[in-house]
Amino acid sequence: MTFAEAVREVVVEAASRAERPTPGGLCDRIARETERYLDRVQFSRERYMRHPILLWDDWEVMLIAWEGGQVTPIHDHRGVMGGMAVLSGSLGEERFTTPRDIPELYDSQVRPEGDLSDIGPTVLELAGIEAPSFMEAKSLGPLLDGRSEKGRDLVFAELGPDNVLEKVRFMTMVRSRDWKLVHFLGSEDGQLFDLKEDPHEEANLWNSPSHASRKNSLIQEILHWRLESQIASRNWVAEYR
């Protein structure tokens, strides 16, 4: 079995579970497999080296080798879920914010909360077009131009079965600044993370008795969001007839 095949086996096994693995937890498992091959890693004095290991479906695994003093260009990972583990040596990470008129590089830890759906009305506002009345999403314009400093208190995401979540009927996520809950339809299992104390989402508090109240309140937020969503969008087809 090649190294890439071994890594793919780890990913496939983790993806087949009813409870989706966290990026940090999956990265740790891959790191343990990678440690056996560290003697094959190549370094260069001219630049840092990328070693592609696996590109399969929605997954990409890469090993990066830096000599002392080498850096990567300023970049972001917006829209991508991932994790990182340092296998040897030490690594420093520097985070940046940008002027308000260049929002693309805002780090997720410092930019205001927003839903991906908010992109639609934001573009419409920038183009001077009024958003349809049925549109639940809100423009991020006030946050970008300084009219407001407060984003959403909660953001939501949902996902049905795909080539990764083959054994999950439907998944719903609700997230605040400090908490994240993932609900799996028809399952007694779920995920609850204290993002303030556990930013890498390694300690699942779903079955913690002391966090039952927090879990139940976030599940109620999902229910409330779904009801409000149905009401707000009930006539969206009629407006185009």
Q: What is the pLDDT of residues 171-229, one digit of tens each?
A: 899 999 899 999 998 888 899 999 999 988 889 999 999 999 999 999 999 999 888 88
**Distance between CA atoms of 143 and 93, rounded to whole angstroms?**
26
Average pLDDT, the chain: 80
**Distance between CA atoms of 35 and 52, rounded to whole angstroms?**
15
Q: What is the CA radius of gyration of the chain?
A: 21
Phi, then psi, of 124 in degrees rounded to 5: -60, -45
pLDDT exceeds cutoff 60 at 105: no
What percent of the chain lies above the pLDDT cut of 70? 81
Higher pLDDT, 161 or 10: 10
Q: Is 50 helix (H, G, I), strand (E, B) or coil?
A: strand
What structural domains does the chain harbor? 1-94 (no CATH), 97-152 (no CATH), 153-241 (3.30.1120.10)
pLDDT exceeds cutoff 60 at 58: yes
Residue 216 · residue 197 · CB < 8 Å: no
